[in-house]
Chains A and B, each alone.
Chain A
Amino acid sequence: MTLDIVHDLQSVYRKLVDSTSRPGLISDLSKQASLVEEEDQKGCSASLLLIALTLFDQEVSFKVFSPQADYVSQTINQLTYAKPTDLKKADFLLILQDAEKGSLEEAIINAKAGTLKNPHTSAFIIVEVDSVTSGEALLLKGPGIHTTELVHLDINENWVESRQEKNKEYPLGIDLIFIDQNHQLLALPRTTQITRNRVIEWDM
């Protein structure tokens, strides 16, 4: 079996629609990810490549965060014709698993947030993480969420505060997509309010 760029990418798109319109809803990309050719996964995950194939073309610009950024950028450019560019101009920022600590914060702070007239000219930030089903508990509120949603994310950075600062002048802001090693996807559009859900920990 190989990846069908019409039907498999349609499935990926619908999962992006589901997860973006219902923040907290985890979508499973593992079936489509298993169809991505090994030789195409040069330095980035199959699920990140799936999102690039679904949304990228010559009209899109992107920036990769990774020690292998040049290599991965070249692969994505060859597969999609999207253009690598600077952090502050990119439509999509791709934070790979091996990116330096602090990359997500750096991306959030410097990403384009759109303008009041054109808030859609803002960046999507796609982040590879260990897990979107374990780690720190985050309580979500906002459009797409019936009362509240609880999610778990494994990221060792102060990104929640940076994101809040970046999105404080809504509709300006950035939209986040997290994908984990099991090809599970979680989206946090700019409208989602996040509260760190600190629970009392007992000394064992």
Chain B
Amino acid sequence: MNTAYNFAFFDEGSKREIRRATLKAIAIPGYQVPFASREMPIGRGWGTGGLQLTLSLIGKNDVLKVIDQGSDESVNAVNIKKLVSDTTGVATTDHTAEASLIQSRHRIPEVPLKKDQILILQVPLPEPLRYYEPSENETKKLHGEKEYSGAWLMLFEQIMKYGSMTTGADHPVMVHDRYVMAPSPIPRFDNPKMNESEALILLGAGREKKVYAVPPYTKVVSLDFEDYPFEPESFEDKHCRLCGSTGVFLDELVDEATDETFYQCNDTSYCIETLNEVEPFGVK
């Protein structure tokens, strides 16, 4: 542990500020609470908002997992883990079930989250209405008045144009029947995991200086229309080439030699755990 730094990098004043904002965020699910985001020794856009939440929460007994697009081993995930463990001495893990704090970019893990865990999602663009309303003052007003016809219109235009809701990641959700919220760029596949989640979910946007929350057991509904219901990405009839899993989020890959398409778990630690489970039975 490097003692030249404060515990968890931050000074106590910075922690207090984001802690006050976080408690307010939990009390008003889906509402973006402004906070005085600090400079972080990692590149912008690589999760400074999530990192600040992690640093404000973490204590000596925590076990930290960091994933970037499903991978524990990506450069960003490794850098964030290193910064946090160098300044706190806390243990890190790849196993979702062992972690008390999970910081993630672009995914909610496949292993269902539990009561004693907190999921921290990194958010590049926290404002779901920004797509059609550039002014912060206006979007705040729209949220205040629960005036979301623009959000529905945006989805409707996509349906008209493409015949379906091609939102890809970051499909907007309605939280506690009140706030339209950007779930961060998770695939639509992960949206339903936010609904009535056992774990607290905190979302942090560093550049935009916002923190927001989905408390446990809170209603989260993906926006859709009766005629065009919300549909997560489907991997029907497909399985992971490595561990054989179905019903998980799969990456589509192409074997360059044979030009064949195959699939692999996007959540690499889940894939490895599944592999280790089936190995004793001699199944591959």
Interface residues of A (CB under 8 A from B): 5-7, 9-11, 13-14, 16-17, 20-22, 54-57, 59-60, 115-120, 122, 124, 143-146, 170-171, 175, 189-191
Q: Which A residues are in CB contact (< 8 Å) with B58? A: 10
Q: Count residues on chain B whose CB falls below 8 Å from chain A CBs.
A: 43
In the assembled complex, the CB of B31 is this many whole angstroms from the nearest CB of chain A, namely 6
Q: Which A residues are in CB contact (< 8 Å) with B15? A: 10, 13
Contact between chains at B144 and A116 (CB < 8 Å): yes
- With the chains together, A198 CA to B205 CA distance in Å? 45
Whether a CB of chain A sits under 8 angstroms from the CB of B13 is yes
Contact between chains at A189 and B16 (CB < 8 Å): no
Contact between chains at B217 and A144 (CB < 8 Å): yes
Contact between chains at A14 and B59 (CB < 8 Å): yes
Contact between chains at A54 and B19 (CB < 8 Å): yes
- With the chains together, A22 CA to B58 CA distance in Å? 19
B162-173 to A contact mask, C-beta < 8 Å, 1/0: 000000000000
- With the chains together, A112 CA to B232 CA distance in Å? 41
In the assembled complex, the CB of B101 is this many whole angstroms from the nearest CB of chain A, namely 10
- With the chains together, A13 CA to B33 CA distance in Å? 18
Point out the residue from B26, B57, B59 that lies within 8 Å of A189, measured CB to CB. B26
Contact between chains at A55 and B20 (CB < 8 Å): yes
Q: Which A residues are in CB contact (< 8 Å) with B6? A: 6
- With the chains together, A170 CA to B13 CA distance in Å? 30
Contact between chains at B57 and A191 (CB < 8 Å): no
Could you list 24 A-B pairs, sorted by A, with CB under 8 Å?
A6-B12, A7-B60, A9-B12, A10-B59, A14-B59, A22-B215, A22-B216, A54-B19, A57-B17, A59-B17, A116-B144, A116-B145, A118-B140, A120-B21, A122-B24, A143-B29, A143-B176, A143-B218, A145-B217, A171-B31, A175-B27, A189-B27, A191-B29, A191-B215
- With the chains together, A14 CA to B215 CA distance in Å? 14
Q: Which B residues are in CB contact (< 8 Å) with A10? A: 8, 15, 58-59
Point out the residue from B7, B16, B34, B118 that lies within 8 Å of A54, measured CB to CB. B16
Point out the residue from B12, B26, B57, B219 that lies within 8 Å of A20, measured CB to CB. B26
Contact between chains at B12 and A144 (CB < 8 Å): no
Contact between chains at B27 and A170 (CB < 8 Å): no
B51-66 to A contact mask, C-beta < 8 Å, 1/0: 0000011111000000
Whether a CB of chain A sits under 8 angstroms from the CB of B23 is yes
Whether a CB of chain A sits under 8 angstroms from the CB of B78 is no
In the assembled complex, the CB of A114 is this many whole angstroms from the nearest CB of chain B, namely 8
Known: A6-B7, A120-B21. A55 touches B16 (CB 8 A): yes
Contact between chains at A7 and B23 (CB < 8 Å): no
Known: A144-B217, A145-B217. A190 touches B27 (CB 8 A): yes
- With the chains together, A5 CA to B8 CA distance in Å? 13
Q: Which B residues are in CB contact (< 8 Å) with A143? A: 29, 176, 215-219
Known: A117-B144, A145-B217. A7 touches B59 (CB 8 A): yes
Whether a CB of chain A sits under 8 angstroms from the CB of B22 is yes
In the assembled complex, the CB of A174 is this many whole angstroms from the nearest CB of chain B, namely 9
Known: A144-B217, A146-B217. A120 touches B31 (CB 8 A): yes
- With the chains together, A69 CA to B19 CA distance in Å? 26
Whether a CB of chain A sits under 8 angstroms from the CB of B200 is yes
Residue among A14, A22, A144, A171 with max Cβ neighbours from chain B (10 Å): A171
- With the chains together, A21 CA to B19 CA distance in Å? 13
Q: Which B residues are in CB contact (< 8 Å) with A189? A: 26-27
Contact between chains at A5 and B33 (CB < 8 Å): no
In the assembled complex, the CB of B116 is this many whole angstroms from the nearest CB of chain A, namely 9
Q: Which A residues are in CB contact (< 8 Å) with B29? A: 143, 191
Name B116-158 residues within 8 Å CB distance of A.
118, 140-141, 143-145
Whether a CB of chain A sits under 8 angstroms from the CB of B28 is yes
Known: A116-B145, A143-B176, A190-B28. A17 touches B217 (CB 8 A): no
Q: Which B residues are in CB contact (< 8 Å) with A124? A: 23
Complex: chain A residue closest to B16, CB-CB: A57
- With the chains together, A13 CA to B34 CA distance in Å? 19
In the assembled complex, the CB of B139 is this many whole angstroms from the nearest CB of chain A, namely 10
In the assembled complex, the CB of B97 is this many whole angstroms from the nearest CB of chain A, namely 19
Name B153-194 residues within 8 Å CB distance of A.
176, 178-179
Q: Which A residues are in CB contact (< 8 Å) with B56? A: 13
- With the chains together, A110 CA to B118 CA distance in Å? 34
Q: Which B residues are in CB contact (< 8 Å) with A119? A: 28, 31, 144
Residue among B21, B23, B24, B141 with max Cβ neighbours from chain A (10 Å): B23
